[in-house]
Amino acid sequence: MATFDENSQAKRPRLDKGKVIGTHNGTFHCDEALAVFLLKQTAIYHDAAVVRTRQQSVLETCDIVVDVGAVYDEGKQRFDHHQREFSEVFGHGFTTKLSSAGLIYKHFGKEIIANRLQLPSNDSKIDTLWLKIYKEFIESIDGIDNGISQYSTDQPPKYRVKSDLSSRVSFLNPSWNEASDGGKMDVLFRKASELTGNEFVDRLDYYGKAWLPARDLVAKAILERSAVDPSEQIVLFDQFVPWKEHLFELEAEQDIKVSRPIYVIYPDELAGAWRIQAVPISSDSFESRKALPTAWRGLRDESLSEIAGIPGCIFVHSSGFIGGNASKEGAMALARKALTATDGS
């Protein structure tokens, strides 16, 4: 990434060839470091040079400007968020004011996702990932850069977090008593942009190649649950898949209020057995919609098989949120019997 400060004339590339991305010089932050990286993932700005300056006359020559200039105008390719009247948010239920990272992601994110994952531009997966990555990765950068507290409380936090991405970018700036010049700052800015970009790509690859396929499997299992059991309250997976987050999101999207899943069955591949797990009341709760029967809890092996009247039982946790059986049929039998039990939470 060719980067130069307004004062780094010796290293300054010609501005009359190719696109130029403008951002401010001096101390850099996570949002514009990531914004520049994101722009470099697009077709139009992939080979662009980067100029870091606050001189308006230089910024006016740039094809696109981020985080400086006091203008937000997509048509003019100006993406600053510091002006008093700026109040842009991502939308789709998000209310955090955008930083330059959020602005660039909002306008270019879908293209970046499609390019990275080699998806057609009209693939519905792109919208799903675009929203997910904003929620899980970009929004916190917007919030931190705009000074928006994560919590609404008058109490001080019990501990401080300085290992977040924004803090790590901040630490790349020279210390107050360390000599620096435009050339050194350019090198450090490139390092910051690479840091933020590598983490963005890691998250995008994870959500595109692991999280999204898991969501597809959970959606399929929810759709087919009536074939598993007429109650539609048992979800069966033929392989282990992270299911909790997806199950709750898909329930909400599909407005499933009747015959909601109560138990999930999946293989324990390491043990060569099968698990039955009670669906919690929320994705981060320890309380179940209907825990396994009290009489089974804390029992193992033959003692459990005898009480439950189902061969092959291995265990039921003392809280009743999970249990195991040697076979899929045994785990299914546990689930069906637990559904009709009169106790359980």
Q: Tell whether the model's pLDDT for residue 103 goes beyond 60.
A: yes
Predicted confidence (pLDDT) per residue in 144-154, tens digit: 999 998 887 77
Q: How confident is the model at residue 11 (pLDDT cuts 50, 70, 90)?
A: very low
CB 79 within 8 A of CB 69: no
Quote the longest CA-to-CA distance of the chain: 83
DSSP state of 312: T
Q: 311, 275, 278, 316: which is closest to 297 by C-alpha?
A: 316
Q: What is the pLDDT of residues 118-137, one digit of tens each?
A: 999 999 999 999 999 999 99
Q: What is the mean pLDDT of the chain?
A: 94
Tell me how far apart the alpha carbons of residues 90 and 312 are, in angstroms, rounded to a whole number.
52
* Chain-centre distance for alpha carbon 297: 36
pLDDT digits (tens, 9 = 90+) for 220-270: 999 999 999 999 999 999 999 999 999 999 999 999 999 999 999 999 999
